[in-house]
Amino acid sequence: MTFGRLRLAPLTLLALLVPASASAGGLNVDYSVSIRGFPVGTALLRAKDTDGHYAIEFSARVAGLARLFSDATMSARAAGNFAEDRPQPDAYDHVWVEDGETERVAMRFDGTSVADISLDPPRKRPERYAPITAAQKADVLDPVSAFLWPAPGGLTPEICARTLPLIDGKYRFDVDMAFDRDATFSPRGTALSYPAIVCSMRYRQVSGYRIGRKDGGFVKDGTVAEVWMAPAGRGLLAPVHIQLQSRIGRIVLRATTFEAD
């Protein structure tokens, strides 16, 4: 089992393009995580915005019988300020621990561009990987600043019409999105029901991949996935269901609790 190797793959297929807000609000979402239909872990999303400043945390861990194969946890954080129609990250970091090994990544932003990246441990033989150029670090979002969407017109197909330029410190990739269908979402074990919009997503590697092995990563270049977005209050949408095909099978994150204020 390589649950830790999931990194942020499912949730980096989302965008946070939230207009500045003069109020404070929070979002709490708990997710179940399954691979090939078998439960393997849990994930938590906690987001807060106050007077245009946002702080978001995401964490995940292996649970149940999957711990017999791997003992993995990860946590990631991002903070910044909303500027016009998109977030302007100040900082991002993640810590990934699996079977006694720890990876730490930190990024510092200057405006919408990445100014500094710290990898601990650094990549061995960095010359083997396609470098992330200065141009590719411009006008990007970190994966955690990629959880909430504005929906000034409600759940409309236009919400899905976007390309996300994402960077996690080691990889730079785009996610092309398109409208797929309308849906209704109900957290398991509850009678609650939420309208949702389903967007299809296609993952495209840009840089950071092993040279000569562009399709050698955990998620193949060109992978198609989908995300279900539901109203999260104050004109925002948040993910309640995410699924994608990986090299070890279909991964599904599904909200088990969904609380917004």
- pLDDT tens profile 49-59: 777 788 889 88
User: pLDDT per residue over 26-68, tens digit each?
Assistant: 888 899 888 888 888 888 888 887 777 888 898 888 754 444 3
Q: What is the pLDDT of residue 116?
A: 95
User: Which residue is it, tokens 């797929």?
Assistant: 180
Instruction: List the Cα angle 163/165/169 in 5-degree steps.
Output: 155
Domain tally for the chain?
A: 1
Q: What is the pLDDT of residue 192?
A: 78
Q: What is the pLDDT of residue 17?
A: 32
User: pLDDT per residue over 92-115, tens digit each?
Assistant: 999 988 878 899 999 999 988 999
Q: What is the pLDDT of residue 85?
A: 60
Residue ranges of the chain whose pLDDT lies below 50: 1-24, 64-69
Q: What is the pLDDT of residue 1?
A: 39
Coil/strand/helix, residue 207: strand
Q: What is the pLDDT of residue 246?
A: 76
Q: How many residues does the chain have?
A: 261
Coil/strand/helix, residue 209: coil
Instruction: Single out the residue of 207, 250, 203 nearest to residue 222, CA to CA.
Output: 203
| 95-to-10, 103, 245 alpha-carbon distances in Å | 17, 6, 24
Domain hosting 237: range is: 3-260
